[in-house]
Structure 1
Amino acid sequence: MTNEKMEQRLAAAVEKTAPNDANGVLSRCEERKGTVIPMTTKKTTKRRWTSLIAACLAVMLLGGGLFYQRANAVASVVSLDVNPSIELKVNRSEKVLVCTPLNEDAKAILADMGNGADLKGAKLDVAVNAIVGSLVRNGYLDSISSAIMISVEDKDTARAEKLQRELTSTVDGVLQTSESRASVLTQTLTQDAGLTQQARENSISTGKAALVNRVLTINPSLKFDVLAKLSVEELKDLAEAGAPAMPIGKDAAAYAAEQYAGTTALDSVTAEVDPELDESPAHYEVELQTAWGEFEYLVDAYTGKVLSGQKDLLAAVSASNETTKPSGQKPAPSGTVQDIGYTKAKSIALNHAGVSESKAYDMDIELDDEDGTLVYEVEFKSGNMEYDYEIDAASGTILKHEAELDD
């Protein structure tokens, strides 16, 4: 068999095994086309919707993250300083993010506010109102020379000045309501890393650190860390006086007065100290509250020398004598030559007023120190009149008396 014939037979066999059925194959494909293509189309649509939803979620998450970040970003730092130093960080919406007591006195002020935690989320003016109210209740803003400083630190000068005005109005409102005579100092600050470091090292606010630096500009020989322990009231007066020297401070002034009075061993004696560094001579007014009355001392602000007041108080006013003690009054002195006693002081006042003891009520008698002289302050009412006497404790001389209609 020739090669040609062999090729012809092989071709015939292949044709029988795989017939030429192209038209049939195509027709069968057309029948399947109607079912396959729609399935493919549905799959593509689902994939597109999934992609779209994922993109929307991504945008929402991104937007939510930006909102959260913005709501919790610190926009301004506000500090309130008297001697307690309190710092409030707030966002752009003027809501408190964190309230921090910077010293031990501040912790006492924030004790009933969860140490500051309860103020988180509060509007800034509400938080400041609560803090200043606590300062008033704790006696930090009682005297006319008391001062509170408001400092606002912000990159945005316009926003800082706006907050400064708003907070000044808030604090003024609280002080007027409580009849406090304290002054309000305000300042705006730009963010300064060096100032922040000084503040942190001395447990004070950046606002108080700026005030200390202002005093140091006047007298560079003074020490930052010692000045930082003074109250805002002292720093203000010191700057106004030209910062001639370092004041001894309130605690040292109180101790000097107690030593002079001889009452350091008595736990019952308390002291109220009012700095007068802008007067001449610069001094601290120290009022010792004792079982026998209130006694005032003036202590030199720079040397610690007692300028006036009753020396050796225990010797001048000894143990109480219950036999001469009026009902409801403080214990009376023993009735030495230097002291006429409560009963005699009351009798002198009543006789002068022409009022019998049975017609007098709301009687109040206190032994006080007036510029080194012991006096009895006698107050009482009778009918529609109110009487007020000051009587020399040694001689019984009436030093001052007033009578007016009782309101």
Structure 2
Amino acid sequence: MDDKRIEKKLKDTFNTEVPDVLTKIKASPEFRVPLKEKGFSLRNILNKRLIVSLSSLFVVVILLFAVIGRSNYIVASTVTLELNPSIEIYLNKNDYVIKVVALNDDGEEVIEKDIKYRGLSIDDALVIIVERLNELGYVVDTTDENNIILVSVNSDNEAIKARLQNKFATQLQMELSKYNNSHWVFNSDDFQLTDEQLRFVKNNDLLSKYSFAKIALAYRINSLEPDYTLATLSRMSIRNLYDLYIALENPDNLPQKNQMPPSRNNNQNESYSGGDLNIGF
């Protein structure tokens, strides 16, 4: 028998007689090939650093938005609107409304609970407020009365204060002009009061019932005509206080008098009864 035939016969015998152990081992469910351990890699380090950096950036962005959101509700100024309804508007540094509150019962009626003022611009808020004033009859269309709004701005920043005084006057004049009647918006800073008189107004007991703007106007009228006491004047409407004010004030202190509606003084004594203690300097 030649060598090739012998070799073939041995292979056939080996394949038949020797079991395929390796194939059985691999087929077993317990067989696992261990994972190759990862060695030191610059790429792995860079990936980890990237994940940490992105996580940190995400946290910083969240904190930044939280700070910005909170700063939008920090009060930078307050503005009081006096008609008889007395309303106070709280604004942030960007002149957006934080909240609107009533300072008397009439004001409560004006600022409906269902209206969400937060986040509104000054223009949008005033459109709503003046419309409510009209609906409730505080804006008149008769020729024997003026529509008068007294504005008082309070802010530690003089630039913000000046900007808001102008903005409220302009927007309120525009809103009142829709109702086709004489109207005026004036500012409590326009009254000729000394620093001593202002301190007196700020410490007056009447501020527990009435706004600073109204008492400041009442005090100016009292200083021009002492027969009208602060207690009497504080009970009068803003439009009647306006009539008294422009009738008594020196025209030199009213640079815009030519544009201001004339006094409708037929009702200016509506609440005067006399006999009240005169408070003044």
Instruction: Look up the SS of the partner of 1:149 in the other structure.
Output: strand
Q: How does 1:291-306 map to 2 (within 5 A)?
A: 301-303=272-274
Mark the CA change 1:46 to 1:204 in structure 2 (over 3 Å): closer, same or farther. Answer: farther
Give the C-alpha shift of residue 109 in structure 1.
2.0
Distance 1:52 1:276, change over 3 A: same
For the structure 1 residues 53 and 182, does the alpha-carbon distance in structure 2 shift closer, same or farther, using more than 3 Å as the test? same
Report the counterpart of residue 118 of structure 1 in structure 2: 116
Q: Which residue of 2 aligns with 1:235?
A: 241
Give the CA deviation at 1:156. Answer: 2.6
Contact kept, 8 Å, 1:79 with 1:88, in 2: the verdict is yes
Which AA in structure 1 matches 2:118?
K
Note the alpha carbon deviations across 1:26-79, whole angstroms, 9 max, x for none.
Answer: xxxxxxxxx67516x677545533542343234323322331132112222122
Q: Which residue in the other structure is 1:78 paired with?
A: 79
Unaligned runs of 5+ in 2: 1-36, 191-197, 250-262, 276-281
Task: Report the AA paired with residue 98 of structure 1.
Answer: K
Amino acid at match of 1:162: R
- Higher relative contact order at CA 8 Å, sep ≥6: structure 1 or structure 2? 2
Work out whether 1:38 is the aligned partner of 2:37. no
Change (3 A) 1:139 1:75: same
Distance in 2 (CA, whole Å) between partners of 1:74 and 1:57 is 29
Displacement of 1:87: 0.8
The structural deviation recorded for 1:147 is 1.8
Match of 1:73, SS state, is coil
Give the equivalent residue in structure 2 for 1:106. Answer: 107
Structure (1/2) with the larger helix percentage: 2
Unaligned runs of 5+ in 1: 1-34, 244-273, 285-299, 305-407
Query: Quick one: structure 1 residues 47 and 212, their matched pair in 2 at CA, closer, same or farther if it must change by over 3 Å?
Result: farther
Look up the equivalent residue of 2:128 and give its one-letter code.
A
Alignment partners' CA distance in 1, 2:204 and 2:62? 40
Q: Which has the larger radius of gyration?
A: 1
Preserved contact between residue 80 and residue 148 of structure 1 (Cα < 8 Å):
yes
Equivalent residues in 2 for 1:306-345, closer than 5 Å: none
Whole-Å separation in 1 of the counterparts to 2:103 and 2:205: 9
The residue type paired with residue 91 of structure 2 is V
Contact 1:141 1:181 in 2 (8 A): no
Aligned to 2:131: 133
Give the deviation of 1:132 after TM superposition: 1.7
Question: For residues 131 and 205 of structure 2, what CA distance do their matches in structure 1 show?
Answer: 25
TM-score (norm 1): 0.44
Between the aligned partners of 2:71 and 2:200, the Cα distance in structure 1 is 26
Deviation at 1:102, TM superposition (A): 1.1
Aligned residue pairs total 217
Give the TM-score, by structure 2 length. Answer: 0.60
Please point out which of 252, 265, 273 is paired with 1:276.
265
Shift of 1:105: 0.9
Letter in 2 for 1:123: S
Task: Verify the 8 A CA contact 1:75 1:91 in the aligned structure 2.
Answer: yes
**Is 1:97 aligned with 2:136?**
no
Q: Which residue of 1 aligns with 2:208?
A: 202
For 1:194 and 1:44, the matched residues in 2 are separated by 71
1:38 maps to a residue whose letter is F
Aligned residue for 2:113, secondary structure, equals helix
Query: Secondary structure in 1 aligned to 2:40?
Result: helix
- Residues 164 and 188, structure 1, Cα contact 8 Å, conserved in 2: no
Secondary structure at 1:211 match in 2: helix
RMSD (Å) for aligned C-alpha atoms: 4.0
1:222 deviation in Å? Answer: 7.3
The change in CA–CA distance for 1:182 and 1:238 in structure 2 (over 3 A counts) is same
